[in-house]
Amino acid sequence: MVHNMSPSTEGEKKGFGQRKLKHPLLTALVIIVSFIALISFFVSSDQDSKKTETQQAVNSASTPEEKIKAIVANELKGQNSNKQDRLRQVAITPTTEAGESFIIRVVFNADENLTSNLKKQGIELQMAKLYQQLYTNKLPINRIVIQAYTNLVDQYGNEHDTEVFETFLNKDEADKINWTADTTTLQMQIIPGVWTVSYVHPIYRK
Residue-wise pLDDT tens digits, 45-89: 555 666 677 778 788 888 999 999 999 999 999 999 999 999 999
Q: Which of 24, 31, 108 is nearest to 72 (CA)?
A: 108
Query: What was the pLDDT predicted at 16?
Result: 44
Query: What was the pLDDT predicted at 86?
Result: 97
Cα–Cα dist 181/183, whole Å: 6
pLDDT lower than 70: segments of the chain: 1-23, 30, 33-51, 206
In this prediction the pTM is 0.75
Report which residue type is found at 19: R
User: By three-state DSSP, how is residue 68 classified?
Assistant: helix
102: Cβ contacts below 8 Å, ≥ 6 apart:
64, 65, 68, 92, 93, 94, 95, 139, 140, 141, 142
User: By three-state DSSP, how is residue 180 classified?
Assistant: coil
Strand order in the sheet with 101-109: 87-95, 101-109, 141-153, 159-170, 196-200
Query: What was the pLDDT predicted at 38?
Result: 61
Query: What was the pLDDT predicted at 97?
Result: 80
Query: What was the pLDDT predicted at 36?
Result: 61
